[in-house]
Amino acid sequence: GQNIDQPTEMTATEGAIVQINCTYQTSGFNGLFWYQQHAGEAPTFLSYNVLDGLEEKGRFSSFLSRSKGYSYLLLKELQMKDSASYLCAVPGAGNNRKLIWGLGTSLAVNP
Amino acid sequence: DGGITQSPKYLFRKEGQNVTLSCEQNLNHDAMYWYRQDPGQGLRLIYYSQIVNDFQKGDIAEGYSVSREKKESFPLTVTSAQKNPTAFYLCASITNRGGNNEQFFGPGTRLTVL
């Protein structure tokens, strides 16, 4: 089957670094997405990893290990506006281009 | 600018009434999706359509119906058969012309059934 696990909640301090983990099980692998979702708004795309390693994009970086079925999102120099839910997703099996979504990690950034 | 629009942003209905949520995209995307989001539940797929005049049930299709008569439009009807319709509804689209499966989202419609 296909499954995604991520922590439900995390708390961090403004200016700090936080790592949000995601583990997945899929019948075939075709990349992993991270989205950010502020309360009451739509998810917005953050990153897509298909190869192993770290991809950096400004304050946000995403890491993938296909052999371990593991990814993390690294947020540096945290700002209050980073308080949001972070969703991990992987494409489902087959050719229907569906995404399998994790439940999301709610990050609270405190001053 | 290209994008996905959903209207209205907030919708109130009385119990027992059908209601249709609008989703329009001018991105020339082939596939469109409807999700429902409840607190702590993540995104759950209701229906999706990969091409015009074709659509498939997602994980929680009961009590919902859709149509895909035009490439740009994928309206969702929440029927009176849906037992707990109050939720945040998100529409998304994706191109079928290769790429990484990134889904683009509309702003969402928050439906409250009184």
Q: Is the pLDDT of residue A1 over 70?
A: no
Reduce the DSSP state of residue A5 to 3 states and report it: strand
Q: Which of A30, A42, A50 has its CB closest to that of B105?
A: A42
For residue A48, the model assigns a pLDDT of 93
Find, in chain A, the residue whose alpha carbon is nearest to that of B89. A42
Find, in chain A, the residue whose alpha carbon is nearest to that of B31. A97
- The DSSP code sequence of B1-34 is ---EEEE-SEEEE-TT--EEEEEEE-S--SEEEE
Secondary element (H or E) of residue A36:
strand A32-37
A34, A48, A101, best to mutate vs chain B, most B CBs in 10 Å: A101
What pLDDT, in 10s, does the model give residues B78-93? 998 898 999 999 999 9
Q: What is the mean pLDDT of residues A28-48?
A: 93
What pLDDT, in 10s, does the model give residues B45-65? 999 999 999 999 999 999 999
Average pLDDT, chain B: 92
Lookup result for tokens 């995604």: A4
For residue B40, the model assigns a pLDDT of 74
SS3 content of chain A, % helix, strand, coil (to 5): 5, 55, 40
Are B43 and A40 inside 8 Å of each other by CB? no
For residue B96, the model assigns a pLDDT of 65
Residues of B in contact with A33 (CB under 8 A): 101-102
Q: Which of A33, A87, A102 has its CB closest to that of B102?
A: A33
B42 pLDDT band (50/70/90 cuts)?
confident
Q: Is the pLDDT of residue B99 over 70?
A: no
